[in-house]
Structure 1
């Protein structure tokens, strides 16, 4: 069993082993009943003492992740603590390099009626008609697009359209400074695979986007989470942390942050860029939601102030117009971009020409008008959700209404009972995102994320009311 250990890191080795195995268990990579390697065997594999592994297993057993039996071994616990299995399948013991996979686990709600867990926009709000019409015309009129590899950097005409789009938002770059990716998730992965290795320090907001945490964990990075307040990432705290552990990379989702909905102030954006300059590191600015403001536009992107190429800016278009098309723009300069293009060529040989061509005319001619209409629709949903929260949320549950984006971030009175709440909600056809997946450790979180844009307006209202009534009943049961 492979585990990346940071032997010069600040976290003790038993805790590193325990945290990694806990993440594999909670994200479903290690199934209930799986038999872990013996203490002796794992110690030999990891080149650590048996005492180190014993401490890690004891910590996991204390937290309820393992059932250990003298002479039989340690097994991943069932959810209901029903006992160990036999772990006989050869594939169970086949080594992998995935430390966690929370993003994969939290897409697994195909049957729920009220999917509040997924930060997405309902199909009735998306411009699927005009995009599908364009795609159909391309398939019949230019079938050769399906027989061709695209430019590794992306279609030049689409990159020019995106250059103009970014220019309207204060980012002035050449078309040659842009690359098309299969969503920002691929962009994050390319940056991590190109510039982050085992033991490198990556700073993120606390909480942060689950998909980014999965990627950086997979690279063996030492992730350090920086607390947030109403102005976003606490750059003063980050500065003190950087004095102890200089950053290789800082990941931020500064506008209507996922999952919290907080927007970083302009002053913090400027200070963050100054910090990156002083430490000669990269900032990954993930920006899927800045066009989804409800009243006034958010502060300009950090990239708009970047004169030295410290910011790799990522703008998702598929998130807002057609998730299935998987189209995003990555903006960077010089050999930072050239190395990312090289990594992309090895990853996918270029994004599909068909999907790039399908979204191109819509982004060029109709996106701005569409975005205005979408903002109004999302604001209506958010305000209806706010009224339901005010009317039905139990005592002790708090939230701050976002000024844009797709999500509500609720703080519950306690972290206890959230897994049981999740089970009860699923029985009613409701899903939500538990906040603990938005951190890298194994600590329970008092937060949950609810997305108000993934359903029809009527379903959102029915589902949220049902969930809040269920939440009230659940919290009352905990206090009895």
Structure 2
């Protein structure tokens, strides 16, 4: 089992081992019943003392993550049968370099009757028939599209349509400065694979997008999380941190941030760009939700203020049109873009031409009208969810209604165990996203994320009411009366 340890870190080696193993368990990479390496085996593998590994295992057992049986070994908790359990064969001991995979785990909960865990739009909100009709016509009339590799950088006509779309939002770009990717997740991965290596310092918001954390963890980056307030990332704190640990890259989701819903102020966007200039580093601006505002448009993108090529801008289109099409664009300049195109060519030989052509007419001719209607529908869902929270949420639960996007971020009392609440919700076929997966550490978050757009409105209201009633019962059973009045 490969675990990347940082000897110079402020976190002790036992703590690092505990966190890495805990993340693998939470991600489902280590299944219930899987046998862990012996203390001696792991100590030899990691080149640490057996005492160091023993301390990590003891903490995992104390937290209920593993079970150690004298003479048999240590196993991931919830073992149904004694023995080696799942993952005990040769495959379970075949080394990998996955430190965590929370995004995979998140998508794996889609069978719940009431799904609040995934930041996505219900199919009734999406223009699937329009895009599907275009795709069917393309298959019928231009079947040769399925026989062709697309341009590594992406279809030129689609890039021009996207350029015009971004120009309306204040970004002066050339179509040659855009690259089409298979969703913004691929864009994050390409940036990380191209520019981030083991030990490089990457700054992120606290909390941050699960998929980005997974990618940077997989590159062996040293991730440093910067607190947020109502104006977004605390750039003053980031500045003081950068004095000690200069950044290789800063990842931000500044508009209706996932998961918190917070929007970064224009003042902080400007300061963040100034910081990137002074340290000659990249900002990755991930922007899936800026078109989904409920009242006033959000501040201009950081990319719109960038004159020196410090910002790599990611814009997902499939997120709000047809997630199965996996279409996004990356905006960058010069040698940065050239290297990203080279990385993409080695990754997939170019995004599928058929899906690029399928979404092209809708983005060109119908997107703005569609986005306007979508904003109205999402605001109705958000306001309905807010009314239910005011009516049914128990005392001690806090939230701020977002000004756009798909999610609400709830803060629960510190004494509650969110993992236990998650298990209780699963038993009622209700899913939500625990805040821990939006951080790199283990068990520190007091938050959960609920998406109000993943179901139709009536089902969302029914499911949210059931969840809040469950939360009330759980809090009443776990907290003293004075904490819930």
Look up the match of 1:455.
455
Q: Map 1:295-314 to 2 at 5 A.
A: 295-314=295-314
> Is the contact between residue 67 and residue 83 of structure 1 (CA under 8 Å) also seen in structure 2?
no
Shift in Å, 1:113:
1.5
Look up the match of 2:439.
439
In 1, Cα distance between equivalents of 2:420 and 2:43? 35
User: C-alpha deviations, 1:184-212, integer Å up to 9, x for none?
Assistant: 00000001111111111111100000000
Look up the match of 1:47.
47
Look up the match of 1:256.
256
In 1, Cα distance between equivalents of 2:421 and 2:264? 31
Q: Does 353-362 or 64-73 show the bigger shift? A: 64-73
Shift in Å, 1:9:
2.9
**1:111 partnered with 2:111:** yes
Look up the match of 2:122.
122
In 2, Cα distance between equivalents of 1:246 and 1:198? 15
Look up the match of 2:84.
86
In 1, Cα distance between equivalents of 2:371 and 2:292? 7
> What stretches of structure 2 of length at least 5 have no aligned partner?
481-485
User: C-alpha deviations, 1:382-422, integer Å up to 9, x for none?
Assistant: 11111111111110111001000000101111253322222
Task: For residue 440 of structure 1, give the secondary structure of its aligned residue in structure 2.
Answer: coil
Look up the match of 2:333.
333
> Is the contact between residue 128 and residue 321 of structure 1 (CA under 8 Å) also seen in structure 2?
yes
> Is the contact between residue 6 and residue 198 of structure 1 (CA under 8 Å) also seen in structure 2?
no
> Is the contact between residue 415 and residue 479 of structure 2 (CA under 8 Å) also seen in structure 1?
no
Look up the match of 2:132.
132
Q: TM-score, normalised by structure 1?
A: 0.97
Look up the match of 1:31.
31
Q: Give the 3 Å change call, closer, same or farther, for CA 115–195 of structure 1 in structure 2.
A: same
User: C-alpha deviations, 1:310-330, integer Å up to 9, x for none?
Assistant: 100000000011100000010
Look up the match of 1:173.
173
In 2, Cα distance between equivalents of 1:415 and 1:326? 40
In 1, Cα distance between equivalents of 2:464 and 2:56? 40
User: C-alpha deviations, 1:337-375, integer Å up to 9, x for none?
Assistant: 111111111111000000000000000011001100000
In 2, Cα distance between equivalents of 1:173 and 1:273? 18
Alignment root-mean-square deviation, CA? 1.3
Shift in Å, 1:479:
2.3
Look up the match of 1:268.
268
Shift in Å, 1:40:
1.8
Shift in Å, 1:473:
1.1
In 1, Cα distance between equivalents of 2:392 and 2:126? 30
In 1, Cα distance between equivalents of 2:176 and 2:309? 14
> What stretches of structure 1 of length at least 5 have no aligned partner?
none
Task: For residue 291 of structure 2, give the secondary structure of its aligned residue in structure 1.
Answer: coil
> Is the contact between residue 258 and residue 407 of structure 2 (CA under 8 Å) also seen in structure 1?
yes
Look up the match of 2:483.
none
In 2, Cα distance between equivalents of 1:408 and 1:86? 41
Look up the match of 1:206.
206
Task: For residue 53 of structure 1, give the secondary structure of its aligned residue in structure 2.
Answer: helix
**1:19 partnered with 2:19:** yes
| Number of matched pairs | 478
In 1, Cα distance between equivalents of 2:415 and 2:439? 14
In 2, Cα distance between equivalents of 1:150 and 1:82? 50
In 1, Cα distance between equivalents of 2:213 and 2:126? 28
Shift in Å, 1:76:
1.3
Task: For residue 106 of structure 1, give the secondary structure of its aligned residue in structure 2.
Answer: helix
> Is the contact between residue 436 and residue 445 of structure 2 (CA under 8 Å) also seen in structure 1?
yes
Shift in Å, 1:77:
1.4
Q: Give the 3 Å change call, closer, same or farther, for CA 83–281 of structure 1 in structure 2.
A: farther
Q: Map 1:319-330 to 2 at 5 A.
A: 319-330=319-330
Shift in Å, 1:83:
7.4
> Is the contact between residue 318 and residue 324 of structure 2 (CA under 8 Å) also seen in structure 1?
yes
> Is the contact between residue 181 and residue 327 of structure 1 (CA under 8 Å) also seen in structure 2?
yes
Shift in Å, 1:84:
5.3
User: C-alpha deviations, 1:229-275, integer Å up to 9, x for none?
Assistant: 00000001111111111111110000000000000000000000111
Look up the match of 2:344.
344
Look up the match of 2:234.
234
In 1, Cα distance between equivalents of 2:328 and 2:66? 41
